[in-house]
Each structure stands twice: as C-alpha cells, then as structure tokens.
Structure 1
Amino acid sequence: MNPDASRLWRAPRWALAVLLACLAMVGPFSIDTYLPAFSGIAKALDATPVEMQQTLSSYLFGFALMNLFHGALSDCFGRRPVVLIGLAVFTGASLGCALAGSIGQLVFWRTVQGMSAGAGIVVSRAIIRDMFPPADAQRVMSQVTLFFGVAPAIAPMVGGFLFVHADWHSIFWFLTAVGAALFVSNWRLLPETLHADMRQPFQVGALMRDYWRLCSSPKFMMLVLASGIPFNGMFLYVLATPVFLGEHLHFEATQFFWFFLSTIGGIMAGAAVSGRLAGKMAPKRQIMRGFRIMVAVSLVNVALNLFVPLNAWWALPLIGLFSFGWAMMVPVVTLLVLDQVPERRGMASSLQASIGSAANGLVAGLLVPLVMHSTVALALASAAMMAVGLLAWYGVRRSVAA
C-alpha cells in the first residue's frame, strides 16, 4: 500500500470507485454494445457467422496478449501513463472500427481495441491495492464491480438503439466518444498511486522469469482459475446472445437489454453483498457461498433445459443468479491473487487478466460456436466452466488463511 495514499485522493472513496469502474468497464462495454448489431454488420460486410465470431475472439486474444504487459509496465513507469496511453489507443482503434469497410479491417481494429482495453481493468485493480488495506480494498473492489455493472447493462440498449435508428457504424463512433471522454477525465482526475520506492526496473528477461515463477506456482494458478474460469459460465451466454436471444428466445435487437439487465443485475447484487461482508466473514466462507450458489443454479439450469420448454421467464433469472454467485466471491479471490506478489501487484494483475482473457478467447472462438445452437449444450458448457473453477478452489483452499 502507498504510504501517501491518504493525500493522493481526498474525495469520497466511492468517487474513486466510480473512476476505476469506468476504466474497468471499457473492455466489457466494447463487447456488449455491438452485439445487437451482429446480424446487421454481417449483412453489411458480407461476412459469415464464423467471420463475425472472429471479431469477438480476435478482440479477446488481443486483450489477453497485452494484459501480460499492462500491469508490468505500470509497475515500472507508473499507473497513470499506462492508463492514459491505453485509452488513447482504444479511442483510435474505435475510430478504425467505425471506418472499417470490410470484415478483415473490422477484425484488425477489434484486435487493437482488445490490446488497449485491458489497461483499464488491469491497472485499476493494482490502484485499489495501492490505495487501501485488505478489508477496505475488498469494499472498494466490490464497489467497482457494482458501478461497473451499470455500463454493460446500458451498453446493449445503446447499441440496439443506435443500430435501429442509425447504422452499425454509429456504435463504434459512440465507443470513440466514450474513449475520448475517459481519456480526458482520467487525465484530469487520476493520481499516480504507485509509490516511487515501489517502482521496478523494466527488464524483459527478469519480467519473463517473474512470470515463469508465478505460472509455476500452483497456489497462484489455482486462484487465477478459481476467479476467472467460472466467469465463462455466464460469459458464454453473452458471447452467444445473437443466437441465444435472437434464435432460441426470439428476441428483437431492442429487447436484448432484458438479458443484460438480468446478468448485470446479478453482478451488481453479488458485488453489493460482497462489500457488506468485507471484514465480517472469513474469505473462505464467502468464496464457498458464491460457489454453492453457482453449483445450485447450474444443476437447475441443466435440468430445466433438458425437461422444460425454453422460456425467458426462467432462463434469464437463472443466468442472473449465476452472475450473483460469481460476483459475491470474485472480489475476495482477486485480492488473494494480488497479494501473492505484494511487490509486483501490477504484474500479478496482468497475468491474472491475461489468463482469464485467453480463456475467454478460447470460449468465444472454439466453445461458443460448438454449443450456441443448443440450449442444453449451453447449459452443460456453463456448468463445466463453473466446475473447473470449483475444482481449482478446492485445490488451493487449505493453503488460504481462514
């Protein structure tokens, strides 16, 4: 923790949480906003469904690749420069997407978008731990998750409205404006939170050795898998929304917001509960409660998809409840990940985000195309993602302080 933290930010704690949440939401916002226009973009650019899926998977792989470096660079040069450069590149990439005239150009600029968008979420986690001791950090992490939930809930409504009343290009013009606004606000408000004594020299060889040390640590890797893989139990439904909502539930583009309201509502509620439990419940117990909720929801979801005709009245609330369980436990696990390397929290955040994003990319590029045309397959895949995270947690829970 930065010993000068109390002097760096004198505004209310929630105001810093809002600023960091805006940084963290850039990545998900870039996905959710254009999903309602998937079919329209495919038609306009004469793209196949597989090519359109590549606009998602290329974004996620770009996100995963650069996440290896965002946090490490912020350990060396400071949090503020990395955030500002990331936002500047994101704004330029969004402009490139808006001007894209072919599916190849769109895939390229989406990759650049992904490579830059990760700076916000990676560095914001490190900033929280720079500024707050553990219990307060959990509360702020929960507040960030809470505020962060608002933007993805609004994003598909904005995207659907822009697509219906303008065209798909307007969605990326909107993201360009969002990037520019975030750049200006962070330029004016975000302090440098990395203390000068905590800066690390940037040496690629040493950085790779540190990454190898973390990757070879079973405890670190199990915690990363426990926090990141269950997210895909919900996220695969997000990635499959054009088919899940459009073909299975027969939603119009302007109705997609019901799905996102359910999902993000669950995340916001889970984050709020996590914040209230900070310092009142042992981390192990809180994490297990979140997993128990996800296990119960997964079993019910599989059973209903097998034996009951699909209906939005039960399908959407179940995904929301799954999101609630994940959001209840993930702030705690994330802080455990960061505290494995207290002297290099930026690097730890980078590796955590990179592994999670690589998993997201594999889900988007390989798993979702295989399962999205069957609601039973979607439910089974979601349960499998949760099970991987649960097994990882069981593998490491004995070594975690009560």
Structure 2
Amino acid sequence: MPASSPWLAFVLAALAAIGPFSIDTYLPAFGAMGEALSASPLQIQQTLTAYMATFAFMVLWHGALADHFGRRRVLIVGTALFALASLVCALAPSIEWLWAGRALQGMVGGAGMVVGRAVIRDLYEGEHAQRLMSRVMLIFGIAPAIAPMIGGLLLALGGWRTIFFFLAVFGAWLSFLTWRYLPETLAHEHRHPLHPVLLARAYRRVLGSAAFVLLAGAVAFNFNGFFLYVLSAPTFLMKHLGLSAQEFGWMFVPSVIGMTAGSALSGRVAGRWHSRRTIVVGFALMAGAALANVLVASLMPPGLPQSVLPIMLYTFGMALSMPSLTLLALDLFPTHRGLASSCQSFLQVGINSLTAGVLAPVLWYSPLTLAAGMAGFLTLGGIGFVAWCRRAVGCVR
C-alpha cells in the first residue's frame, strides 16, 4: 500500500482502536460477569487494572522491538497474540482466569498505538504528519462510541463471553489487514540493535528529558480527564443517570462527536496555525468544558443532556491539541521514534492504570467528584504544557 493511500489512515486507526475496544466493549457486561463468576464489583473493576498494568509495562518494549525487527512484524505478531488472549478471556472459568486473560491482552494490546505513531513519523514531516495523525484520530475516535454499543448488543444476544469472542475475531482481522495492506516503513539500515546497554542508554535519554516528560505528561493528564469517565461509565451512566446497559451511547456518542470534530479541525489548521496555537486553543476549550462540568454537577440534578455535554466539549479540545502535543514529543528523538513512542505510551498508560485502580473507584461516588477529577487532570496537563513552553524558544508564536 503506498504511503499516500487513503487506506493507510484506516489501517493505522484500526490498529490503535484495539485499546478502546479492549476497554469499552465489555463495560456494559460488568454486572453479568460478576454474577457469572461470583465476583464482586471491585474484582471485576480489577480486570481493567490487570489489562492496563501489563499494557503500561509492555508499551516500553513495543517501540524498541519495532525499531529492531521493523514495524510490520511487530504489528502482525502483536495482533495475532491479542486474538489468542481474547479467547482466554472468553473461556475463563473464574475471575482469576479472566484476570490472566486480560493481563495477556494488555501485554500485546499497545503495539498498534505505539508502532502506528512511529509509522506516521517514518513517512511524513511537519504539517503532513499532523494531518495524517489527525485523520487517524478522526477514525480512531469512532471506536469509543461504537465499542460499548457493540458490547451492549452482544451482551443481549449471547452473553458476556460473546464480547470476548468478538475481540478475538477483531484481533485476527487486524493481523490480516496489517499483513495485507501495511507497508514496512523502517529501512534495514535505520534499525537499532536490542543490546541491553544501548537500550538502557536510549531509555534513560528519553525518560530523562524534561521536555519530553512535560509534553508526554500533558497528553496523558489531558486524556485522563476524559478516560476517568470511560472507566466510571457503568456507575456514572447506570447509577447516577439511570440508564441501561444498552444506553451507553448517550455518553460515548457525544464524546466521540467532540473528538472527531476536534481531530478534523486539527487537520484543517495544520500548516495554517503554529502547533502551539493549536494546543492553546485546545486547552482553552477543555478549561471551559471542565468549568461547565463542575457547575452543572454542583447546581443541577444528574441527567441528560446537561451531564454529558461538557464531556463532548472536553473531547473536542483534547482531540484538537493531542496531535500537536504528540508530534512535538516524538520530534525530540527523530532517530528513536519507536522507542520515544513507547515511552510516551508508558507514561500515559501508567497514569491510566493509577486512575483505573485507585482514583476512579473513589471519584465515581458522585457526578461532582467526577467533574472535580476531570478538572484536576486538566490542571496537571496545563501545568506540564506551561512548564515546557517556558523552556521552549518561540513558544508564544
């Protein structure tokens, strides 16, 4: 497939969608899984933690492996193993087996996201990279909306195990798409050895870069302002808003409308706006959304549409700023893009895991605590960007 093929964005977005599908598709089935496996709500919630903990660890290695073996090979093997791990979940006889299957899914589920970003930077520079990144996010943004609706439908048709059989088929399909359509974008002469000393030096260089950590941290904290609601969806939607397992689209569809609109605007302004201007506008939109969310939760009873509209505005600003923040971080290490992408994902998913295992169960107590959590994450993201901006030359242009 040529680098200019319109199918490239679709394949890369489908690979990145493994993450949302792994998390969002089975959210409507939490109650059914708890009953079938005699597990408590906290034990079911820990299936998310098991997934994201191994996900966070392995994303450190997907990029290094792709820098050594090439992009295609890592993606093909990773998606095939994801399909096998999904079968383990589908056939799990106990909560312990489900934890194990989810941990196996997490070990390979990040390859598409990490390596896909490196593929974009292999192929394009500057505004062209931002446009492709925005196009990928535009397609990728549909996944969080359709995943819980697919999960709710599969739950009604065949039970919770059907959801994991679906994920197994999805993984196998992605493995075929990659083998059939994705080109190898890393030439042999640009590959790096897996020597432990050299890798340690490279990781230390990337993770020891204050500029990289600040930019990657801004991406991670901004995303967690929305991800908190994804993790808390069963409680937020079913308990606070009184919706059913088949009505998760009331939150996810508006959220994805915001995300796709923000990604589309990011692609449209690429080459017209300086990347820092795009980021600042995105932060301004997220700040307005977070403030509105706190006010709605404080002054109005939970309900539709007032409880979900601020989330839509937040995802709009998040998607507008994320491509530029991501590319600024990757551009700091042009000869180790795969490894840098791994480090960025490691920071993001590490914060995701902390949110899933510790913060979400505390903050989903009420709509107001969730709104405060969103505002808190955004504040941390803004601090990271401002701190980086003060170090950068010409940041205010």
TM range (shorter): over 0.9
Q: Which residue of 2 aligns with 1:354?
A: 346
1:315 to 2:307 alignment: yes
Deviation, 1:287, is 0.2
Deviation, 1:58, is 1.1
Aligned pair in 2 of structure 1 residues 322, 389: CA closer, same or farther (>3 Å)?
same
* 3-state secondary structure, aligned to 1:247: helix
Amino acid at match of 2:57: L
**Structure 1 runs of 4+ off > 6 angstroms?**
none
**Do the aligned residues in 2 keep the contact of 1:222 with 1:392 (CA within 8 Å)?**
yes
Which of 127, 139, 156 matches 2:119?
A: 127
**Do the aligned residues in 2 keep the contact of 1:231 with 1:326 (CA within 8 Å)?**
yes
**Do the aligned residues in 1 keep the contact of 2:3 with 2:123 (CA within 8 Å)?**
no
Distance in structure 1 (CA, Å) of the matches to 2:174 and 2:84: 13
Distance in structure 1 (CA, Å) of the matches to 2:314 and 2:307: 11
Which of 188, 192, 195 matches 2:187?
A: 195
1:53 to 2:42 alignment: no
**Do the aligned residues in 1 keep the contact of 2:131 with 2:268 (CA within 8 Å)?**
yes
Amino acid at match of 1:368: A
Aligned pair in 2 of structure 1 residues 391, 259: CA closer, same or farther (>3 Å)?
same
1:36 to 2:22 alignment: no
Q: Which residue of 1 aligns with 2:146?
A: 154
**1:114-154, CA deviations, whole angstroms, 9 ceiling, x for partnerless residues?**
11010000000000010112110000000000011122211
1:271 to 2:295 alignment: no
Distance in structure 2 (CA, Å) of the matches to 1:283 and 1:190: 28
Distance in structure 1 (CA, Å) of the matches to 2:129 and 2:339: 18
Identity of aligned residues (%): 45
**1:64-120, CA deviations, whole angstroms, 9 ceiling, x for partnerless residues?**
000000001101110011101111110000000000010110011101101101000
Q: Which residue of 2 aligns with 1:324?
A: 316
* 3-state secondary structure, aligned to 1:312: coil
Deviation, 1:400, is 5.4
**Do the aligned residues in 1 keep the contact of 2:20 with 2:147 (CA within 8 Å)?**
no
Distance in structure 2 (CA, Å) of the matches to 1:205 and 1:164: 52
Distance in structure 2 (CA, Å) of the matches to 1:371 and 1:312: 20
Aligned pair in 2 of structure 1 residues 230, 11: CA closer, same or farther (>3 Å)?
closer
Distance in structure 1 (CA, Å) of the matches to 2:208 and 2:176: 40
1:208 to 2:204 alignment: no
What is the RMSD of the two structures over their aligned residues, measured on CA atoms? 1.1
1:228 to 2:223 alignment: no
Distance in structure 2 (CA, Å) of the matches to 1:332 and 1:215: 19
Amino acid at match of 2:34: A
Query: Structure 1: 5+ residue runs without aligned partners?
Result: 1-8
Distance in structure 2 (CA, Å) of the matches to 1:194 and 1:229: 31
Distance in structure 1 (CA, Å) of the matches to 2:202 and 2:319: 29
**Do the aligned residues in 2 keep the contact of 1:14 with 1:143 (CA within 8 Å)?**
no
Deviates most, 211-220 or 389-398: 211-220
Deviates most, 136-145 or 180-189: 180-189
Distance in structure 2 (CA, Å) of the matches to 1:296 and 1:224: 22
Deviation, 1:12, is 4.6
Distance in structure 2 (CA, Å) of the matches to 1:13 and 1:152: 25
Amino acid at match of 2:114: V
Which of 164, 167, 172 matches 1:175?
A: 167
Q: Which residue of 2 aligns with 1:282?
A: 274
Query: Structure 2: 5+ residue runs without aligned partners?
Result: none
Q: Which residue of 2 aligns with 1:23?
A: 15
Distance in structure 1 (CA, Å) of the matches to 2:34 and 2:386: 43
Amino acid at match of 1:166: G
**Do the aligned residues in 2 keep the contact of 1:93 with 1:110 (CA within 8 Å)?**
yes
**1:137-177, CA deviations, whole angstroms, 9 ceiling, x for partnerless residues?**
00000000001112221111110011012100000000011
Q: Which residue of 2 aligns with 1:3?
A: none
Distance in structure 1 (CA, Å) of the matches to 2:51 and 2:236: 21
1:109 to 2:101 alignment: yes
Deviation, 1:14, is 2.5
Q: Which residue of 1 aligns with 2:90?
A: 98
Q: Which residue of 2 aligns with 1:5?
A: none
1:87 to 2:99 alignment: no
Deviation, 1:358, is 0.5
**Do the aligned residues in 2 keep the contact of 1:14 with 1:140 (CA within 8 Å)?**
no
**Do the aligned residues in 1 keep the contact of 2:2 with 2:183 (CA within 8 Å)?**
no
Q: Which residue of 2 aligns with 1:336?
A: 328
**Do the aligned residues in 2 keep the contact of 1:338 with 1:345 (CA within 8 Å)?**
yes
* 3-state secondary structure, aligned to 1:331: helix
Amino acid at match of 1:253: A
Distance in structure 2 (CA, Å) of the matches to 1:134 and 1:350: 21
* 3-state secondary structure, aligned to 1:226: helix
* 3-state secondary structure, aligned to 1:388: helix
Q: Which residue of 2 aligns with 1:136?
A: 128
Output aligned runs, 1:381-396, within 5 Å: 381-396=373-388
